[in-house]
Structure 1
């Protein structure tokens, strides 16, 4: 991507995050995101098809940097804490994306990032895999189940109004199959 296009993408991402922190993402318009980013509608549509898609892209970019190298962390508890720290840092954005469930593009980003992290964790720690999921289809099911459950738990945490990351981390891990935590 050329530097000008990268600057536009970053301006759009920042505008989407800033605007979504102030009100529900469903109320954001392309025109106001363009104004806030200082770009044209044409530029907007070269980077996204809707404000919620742009918001999901911005969150994905942050999550990618937050959870880089998850397999090198000392525990899944640490990784879960990093994920929830990110959500808490953008709590107004995530709560604004609840309609009553997370908007599909935002939910998809969270599930994909969590699933990729769990895949990386299993690659680095193959000793934790129980024999029942030692084939790829079974592993994919276990990862999808854990990722979906984690995101559903985050939605409940967001709706509850709680902000305590340590409490939420413990609650999510307590609901996880024991073998993930070995």
Structure 2
């Protein structure tokens, strides 16, 4: 069981980094102003994180982990078609980035800087890799693919598309979701799902 004092300290750190990252780019946040905002000293900070970017990742990841579960659910437990589950999962990520809009807009990807864009990419790539590992257990068989390559392609692509959508200021969420749906390959879903019929049905419902 984690000590209550540790939980309180981490909660204070997470609140502080979310506030600061909404006010300025992550690269401009110093440890001193971070610890001042959190009400702790530098020694305590370094017991928990090596840099503000680590604290930001830890603050954002719990929300994204909840979203991950939607993508990797066992098809036998689903109450909706897998394509609809995929659509809802992407929609959940859109909710997340909109809820933290100043953070994602203020700290765009800069190549492994540990910022929110990197956190989002890690989530999507990791989620798709996990999904493909489980999908390989279901019929029909997957094509002969490298799971790491495919999950990186679709994961980074989805994260980049989401950030582009957010930065563009385009409010048409349905158009974004339709665009993502048509990019999903037919083999992505298990046999219980009829790919093209499912695509047509979801597109018709969101038109």
- Verify same fold: TM over 0.5: yes
How far has the Cα of 1:106 moved from its partner? 2.8
Which ranges in structure 1 are unaligned for 5 or more consecutive residues? none
Q: State the shift of 1:171 in Å.
A: 2.3
Equivalent residue number for residue 131 of structure 1: 143
2: CA distance between counterparts of 1:25 and 1:4? 26
- The answer on 1:179 being equivalent to 2:192 is no
- Summarize the Cα distance change of 1:44–1:27 in structure 2 as closer, same or farther, 3 Å threshold: same
Deviations 1:27-75 (A, max 9, x none): 2121221122111111111222222221122111221133334333542
What is the TM-score of this pair, normalised by structure 1? 0.82
Report deviation, 1:96: 1.0
Question: Normalization by structure 2: what TM-score?
Answer: 0.74
- Counterpart position of 1:25: 26
Q: Paired residue for 2:99, among 78, 86, 89? A: 89
Max radius of gyration: which structure? 2
Structure 1 residue 105: Cα displacement: 4.1
Mapped contact 1:70–1:120 kept (Cα < 8 A): no
Which residue of 2 is the match for residue 149 of structure 1?
A: 157
CA contact (8 A) 2:17 2:55 kept: yes
Which structure would you say has the larger RCO, counting Cα contacts within 8 Å and 6 or more residues apart? 1
Q: Which residue of 1 aligns with 2:198?
A: none
| Alpha carbons 2:25, 2:107 under 8 Å: kept | yes
Query: 2:70 touches 2:89 (CA, 8 Å); kept in 1?
Result: no
Bigger Cα displacement from structure 2, 124-133 vs 44-53: 124-133
Contact residue 56 and residue 116 of structure 2 kept, 8 A = yes
